[in-house]
Amino acid sequence: MLKIKDVNRVAVKNNIKMEVCCMKKIFCLFTMAVFVCVATALYANGIAQSSHFTAKHIAGMNDNTGDETAMYDPASVVWLKDGIYINVSSFTVLDSLEAKVESTKYEGSANAWTVPAASVTYKQDQFAGFLYFNVLDGAPFAKLKWDDGTFYTYTAASGVAALLTGSSITSTSVEASSTTYNITLGGAYKINDMFSVALGGRYIYYTKEVNNKFSGEGIPGTYSVDTNIKETANGFGGVVGLNVVPAHGYLIGLTYATAIKREYDITVDPTVTATGAYAAAAPSVAAGIKATLGDGKKARYDIPAMATLTAAGMPVMGTIIALQINYMFNKQADWEEAEKEYNNTIVYMLALTQYLNQQLRFSLGVMYADKGIKDDGAESLHPDSEDVNPVLDELGFGLGAAYNINENLNVGLTYSYTWRVRLLVE
C-alpha cells in the first residue's frame, strides 16, 4: 500500500512564511423582543467559541436589550421584566482570504448567506428559564473555496506526484464547509438585588465536509484525484454564570462554559482516475489516501472550556460602555497532541452604544482575538484548520443601528469588517 504524507498534521519548516489576511463580513439582523430600561445595562458575553457570535454582537447591539442575553450572560436574564422574550436573528458573511507561502499566493472565498440564531427566555419573579440555538463556529449552507488549492493540498498532490514517476501537478482545488451547532437549556435565579446565578446544559453537533481535487500528467499518462472527506461528532457540556450589580446602571458578569468532548467519525472517499502507465497505480493511490486520512477511524477535537468576564456601565444617561474578555483553555482540550502547540486563546471586545432617543440607537464595537498561535508558528496547526477554518488572529470593528418599531418589536442592521492574520516562520 502506498502511503502519502499526512497533510492534516504537516509542519511548516525551513523559513517558510505564510500570511493569511483580509476577511470581510456583512451582517444583517432582524429581531423581535421586549425591551428593558437602559439602566439595566445588560451586555452579552461569549459562550460562542469564535468571533462568529450573532449579528448584534460585534457592533455592541446587545448591551441592554435583553432579547438574546441568555446566549452570552445567562445569569443576567433575571434582571429582565417579567414576560417572554423571543429573539430570531441571522447574519450574512462575505469572506475573502489570501494566503502566501514564500512567493506562491493562494486565494479563497466563502459566502454564507445566513448564519442563524434564536432564543426564548421566560422571566417570572426571581426565576428565569432560557432555551437558545446558535452556531459556535463555521457557517451552514456555505462553502469555503480555494480555486487553486492551498499549501496543504499542494503538499498532498506533491506526494502523489512523487509516487507516479515522471508526473507533475497541473491543477489543485478545495471546497470545504464546517459548522458546529449549539443548543442550550438552562435557568437563572435572582438571589437578591445584587447577585444572580445561572446553570445550563448544552448539546453540540459538528459536521465538516471537504472536497480536494488535484490532477497531473506525465509522459506515461495522466491522472486526477477527487477526495471527499466527511467528519461528524456530537457532545454535551455545561454552563454556569454569576452576575453582580454593584450600583444602579452597572453590571459585572462571570460565565464558565465547560469543555465538550468531541470525538468525530471520519469517512474518506477518494476517486482516482488514471490513464496510460499510471492506471495500474490508481487503486494503490486511493488506498493510500484512505489510510493516511484515517477512513473509518475516530479522532478527537474537543471544544475547549471558556471563562468570560464582562463589565458594562452607563456613565451618562443614554451612553453604555461594555468590555468583554473571553479566555479559552486550549491547552486543556484534547486535540490529539496538537494542543501542545498552542497557547490559550483570549478575545477582547469593547462596545459603545449611544441612544439618540427612545426609538433609535447606534453602536460601535472593536474586537481583537489572539487565537493562541505560538510565536514560532511552525507546528501550530490546529486539527481543524487546514482549508476549512484557518486558525488566525483577528482584528475587527463593527457598526450597528437599531430602531424600536413599538414596545415589542425592533429591527436592526449591523456591519463589521475583520482582518485575519497569521504568520508562520521557522
Taken in order of first residue, the domains within the chain and their CATH numbers are 18-424 (2.40.160.60)
For residue 361, the surrounding DSSP H or E stretch is strand 360-370
Over residues 239-259, mean pLDDT: 91
Q: How many CB atoms lie within 10 A of CB 64?
A: 26
Burial of 102 (0-12, 13-18, 19+ CB in 10 A): exposed
Provide the residue type at 7 as one letter.
V
Over residues 301-326, mean pLDDT: 87
Q: How far is residue 98's CA from residue 108's CA, in Å, rounded to a whole number?
A: 6
Q: How far is residue 260's CA from residue 361's CA, in Å, rounded to a whole number?
A: 37
Cell numbers linked to 317: 444617561
CA trace torsion 239, 54, 262, 156 (10° rounding): -160
Residue 229 pairs in a beta bridge with 210, 268
* Residue spans of alpha helices (H) in 65-178: 151-163
Query: Whose grid coordinates read 446565578?
Result: 197
pLDDT greater than 50 at residue 424: no
Of 103-112, 254-263, 350-359, 363-372, which one has max mean pLDDT?
254-263
Cell numbers linked to 150: 492551498
* The pLDDT of residue 195: 96
Over residues 86-108, mean pLDDT: 73
Over residues 196-221, mean pLDDT: 91
* The pLDDT of residue 44: 25
322 three-state secondary structure: strand
Q: How far is residue 233's CA from residue 223's CA, in Å, rounded to a whole number?
A: 33
Give the pLDDT band (50/70/90) at residue 273. very high
Computed over every residue of the chain, the mean pLDDT equals 76
Which range (37-51, 212-226, 228-242, 362-376) has the least confidence? 37-51
Calculate the alpha carbon distances from 32 to 28, 68, 252, 333 in Å.
14, 10, 26, 37
Distance of CA 201 to the CA centre of its chain: 20
